[in-house]
Amino acid sequence: MEEEKLKLPLELITKILEYTPNPFCTNHLLLCRGIYWSFLWKVYSQPELVSNNLYPDESNNFVPKNLKLLMKRKFQNMVKCLDLSRVVQSGKNSYMSKLLRRTSSSLEIFISSQSSFGAAPLVSIKSCFRLKVLDLRLVSESVNLAELFKSIQCLPELEQLCFPRSSVTCDEFDFQWPQKLWYLRLQGGITDFFAANVRFPETITCLEFAHCSHLTRTGLDDILSHIGINLTRLSITYPMPKIGDDGADRSFWFCPNLKSFFVDIAYISWELFSEELLVILKEYDRPLRSMTIESTGYMGMCEKLSPNDITIAVDEERLPCFERLGLSAMLGWDFKSDDMNDMISELDHHNIEVFKV
C-alpha cells in the first residue's frame, strides 16, 4: 500500500512529459500503453516531414516514409497541420493529392513544398473544409489561379492565403472569397487588369506583395485604394520589378490605419515621409507603431531616402504612435554619420527604438 501511494497518477505523468525538452521521445512513449495513446494524437497532429523522412518507391519517386501511417483510417482524423516547407522532393502530384484527401477531415494548416503541387492537389484542397491556413508561397510549378479560386470557394473557415509565386495570369473575377479571410499574400500572375477588376474582401487586414512580376504602380494603387483603409499590416518586398522606384510612396496615403509596415527601399523615396503623403490625421492619431526598411544592397539606394526625412516626420509629430524602426544593414547608410546620430537622438527622445535587421 505504501508503494501505491508513491505512484503518480497517469494525468500528472503526461503533464510532466509535456514540459520536458523532448516530450514525444520514444523512450517516454514506451513507458506504458496509456502514455503512448495519450500522446499519439499530438504526434500526428503535426507530423515531422523533412527530406530525411523520404525514401524512393518502385518508380524512383519520393514519398514521405510515414505516408502510409497518415493514410491509415485510425490516424487520418488526427492530422491538423501538414508543413512540407522543409521537404525537397520530386514526386507525383497524385501523392500530394492522396495525402490531402486522407487528412481532409481534420486538416487546418497546409504549407506546401516547392514541387508536387498541381491540378490534382488543387482539387483535393476542396475537401479540406476545416482548412484555416493555405500557404503556397514556395510552389514553383505553374498553378492556374482560376482553379485556385474555385478551390478556396469551398473553404468556409479559411483565414490565411498565400498565392504561389509561379501562378499564371487570371482573367476570371466571378468568384466568392472566404468570409473569414484576413491575411493575403499576393504573388505570381497578378496583373493590373486583375487588380482593377477583383473586389477583395473588406475582412483583409494584413496584405503582402512579393514576386508580382506583372503588377505596376497602377495596379498596386488600385488594390490599396480599395482595401487600404482596412489594413493594419502591409508588406511590399523584393522582387516587384514593375512598380517603379517610388511605387510604394503612397502607402501611408491609402492605408491610414497601418500599425506595421515592411518595405524594400527599392520601391520608396523621400516622398513617403513628405507632408503631402504622410499627413496628420484629424479624426485620430495615426496608429503606425512599427516600420522596417529592407534593402537588397544595390548601389544608389541610399540616396533615395535619408535619416533626415524620418527625423523631420517624427519631429513634426506625424507619427505620434511610432515605437520601432528597423533598418537593413544593406541600406548603404553611414550609421556613424551626423544625420544618423541626429535621427537616433530625436527618435530616442520620443521613446522610439531603432535597430538593424
Distance CA 89, CA 50 (A): 10
Please spell the DSSP secondary structure of 31-52, one letter per residue: S-HHHHHHHHHHHHHS----GG
201 within some domain: no
Q: Which has the higher per-residue pLDDT, 288 or 49?
A: 288
Which 8-state DSSP code applies to residue 207? E
pLDDT band for position 135 (cuts 50, 70, 90) = very high
Lowest mean pLDDT of 72-81, 210-219, 292-301, name the range: 72-81
Residues 324, 285: one domain?
yes
Under a CB-based contact definition with an 8 Å cutoff, are residues 309 and 269 in contact? Answer: no
Percent of the chain with pLDDT over 70: 83
pLDDT in the model for residue 72:
60
Residues 347, 224: one domain?
yes
pLDDT in tens, 256-276: 999 999 999 999 999 999 999
pTM, full prediction = 0.86
Mean per-residue pLDDT, 72-76: 64
pLDDT in the model for residue 67:
56
> Which of 50-59, 160-169, 263-272, 300-309 is predicted most confidently?
263-272
pLDDT in the model for residue 288:
97
Under a CB-based contact definition with an 8 Å cutoff, are residues 222 and 247 in contact? Answer: no
Residues 41, 104: one domain?
no
3-state secondary structure of 102: helix
| Residue 241: other Cβ atoms inside 10 A | 13
Residues 37, 57: one domain?
no
Domain count, the chain: 3
Percent of the chain with pLDDT over 90: 52
**Exposed, middle or buried by CB within 10 Å (0-12, 13-18, 19+), for 94?**
middle
Residues 176, 316: one domain?
no
Residues 36, 57: one domain?
no
Lowest mean pLDDT of 130-144, 165-179, 267-281, 321-335, name the range: 165-179
Which bin fits 157, alpha (ψ -120 to 50), beta or left (φ > 0)? alpha
Strands 143-144 and 160-162: unpaired
Contacts of 69 (CB under 8 A, 6+ apart): 44, 75
pLDDT at 142 over 90: no
| Residue 349: other Cβ atoms inside 10 A | 10
Q: Is the dihedral of CA 312, 321, 205, 281 positive or negative?
A: negative
3-state secondary structure of 94: helix
| Residue 190: other Cβ atoms inside 10 A | 24
Residues 285, 211: one domain?
yes
316 within some domain: yes
Query: Could you tell me the CATH number of the domain that includes residue 160?
Result: 3.80.10
Q: Is the dihedral of CA 281, 183, 265, 191 positive or negative?
A: negative
pLDDT in the model for residue 299:
76
Q: Which domain holds residue 101?
A: 49-181
- The three-point CA angle 283-284-288 to 5° equals 140
pLDDT in the model for residue 46:
78
pLDDT band for position 1 (cuts 50, 70, 90) = very low
pLDDT at 62 over 70: no
